[in-house]
A and B are shown apart, each in its own frame.
Chain A
Amino acid sequence: MDEITKPRRAGTALRRRGRNPDAMVTPTVQAKIGEALRDLYDGMKAEPIPDRLSALLRQLEQGDASAQAGHETPPEGRGPE
């Protein structure tokens, strides 16, 4: 427990945490990271959907995408491979 109460130096702290599988940050820092992470992630979620993907999504909505995906029962001698 002594080690963690010593004055902190970036280098040693990094090395110490590198070895410690239970590395922890404070709840405040955790919340800050979580917020930035979700901001970034929401931006990725909102990336415009390209045409090729939206076509598939429309099929999915209309319920006939499985026809395109139907690899389970390929016609005889005409399998995907």
Chain B
Amino acid sequence: MTELEIREGILCAVPSLRAFAISLTGSLDQADDLVQETILRALSNLDRFQPGTNLQAWLFTILRNQFHTAYRKRRREVEDADGLFAARLSTLPEQGGRLDLEDFRAALAQLSPEQREALILVGAEGFSYEEAAEICNTKLGTIKSRVGRARARLAERLGYEGVGDIGPDRVVQAALGRA
């Protein structure tokens, strides 16, 4: 992978990096700061990127580390950081004002930061569990359980049917020969 290709890869990743940053910070302004820092940091550490590995995952890892460094600093000053986040996330600009989406956003804001992050990486961005575990610097099983709990909680809060009813799952799994 040439430097030019990496640059192009970074450019392509910007919308995703911003979306992830917004979901972490709950603020457009802070998200853009975070993306800017991430790009600059990536560019000055290009030699550390291992060709053949996932560039997007590498960038997400940098962004997440940047966020947590800043977040830990802030947390000493702001007691109710999570509550603050929830309030912010639910006041982000509306997207067409679809009621079901607004409900969904509110439910997402109520998840723990770890669960929300894991669900977004896997469920929205489409990273594998393995990649998400690497990005979050945690174990595969931890990510799987965070995603599972996040989904269960959302389903519960949104009143989606079929939660806890694992009958169909078992049928599917049997059909797939995994039961």
- A residues sitting closer than 8 Å to B (CB atoms) are 4, 8, 10, 13-14, 16-18, 21-30, 32-34, 36-47, 49-50, 52-53, 56-57, 60-61, 63, 65-66, 68-72
**A25 and B162 form a contact (CB under 8 A):** yes
Residue of A nearest to B123 (CB): A37
**B124 and A38 form a contact (CB under 8 A):** yes
Q: CA separation between A25 and B148, bound complex, in Å?
A: 8
**A27 and B43 form a contact (CB under 8 A):** no
Q: Nearest chain A CB to B159's CB is how many angstroms away?
A: 9
Residue of B nearest to A42 (CB): B19
Q: Nearest chain A CB to B54's CB is how many angstroms away?
A: 18
**A43 and B100 form a contact (CB under 8 A):** no
- Sample of 16 further A-B pairs with CB below 8 A, known A52-B32, A56-B40: A17-B152, A17-B153, A21-B145, A21-B148, A23-B149, A24-B148, A38-B123, A38-B124, A40-B101, A41-B23, A44-B18, A45-B18, A46-B15, A56-B36, A60-B10, A65-B7
Majority DSSP secondary structure for residues of A touching B: helix
Majority DSSP secondary structure for residues of B touching A: helix
Q: CA separation between A16 and B111, bound complex, in Å?
A: 17
A residues in contact with B160, CB < 8 Å: 25, 29, 32-33
- Given A22-B148, A46-B15, A56-B36: A40 touches B166 (CB 8 Å cut-off): no
Is B51's beta carbon under 8 Å from chain A?
no
Q: Which of A4, A16, A56 contacts B39 (CB 8 A)?
A: A56
Q: CA separation between A28 and B168, bound complex, in Å?
A: 9
Residue of B nearest to A5 (CB): B167
**B120 and A37 form a contact (CB under 8 A):** yes
Q: Which of A8, A24, A28, A47 contacts B152 (CB 8 A)?
A: A24
Q: Which of A10, A29, A70, A71 contacts B161 (CB 8 A)?
A: A29
Is B164's beta carbon under 8 Å from chain A?
yes
**A43 and B16 form a contact (CB under 8 A):** no
Is B44's beta carbon under 8 Å from chain A?
yes
- Given A21-B145, A63-B4, A72-B44: A40 touches B151 (CB 8 Å cut-off): no
Offer 5 A-B interface pairs, CB within 8 angstroms, sorted by A.
A13-B163, A23-B152, A29-B155, A33-B160, A60-B11
Q: Which of B7, B152, B163 contacts A60 (CB 8 A)?
A: B7
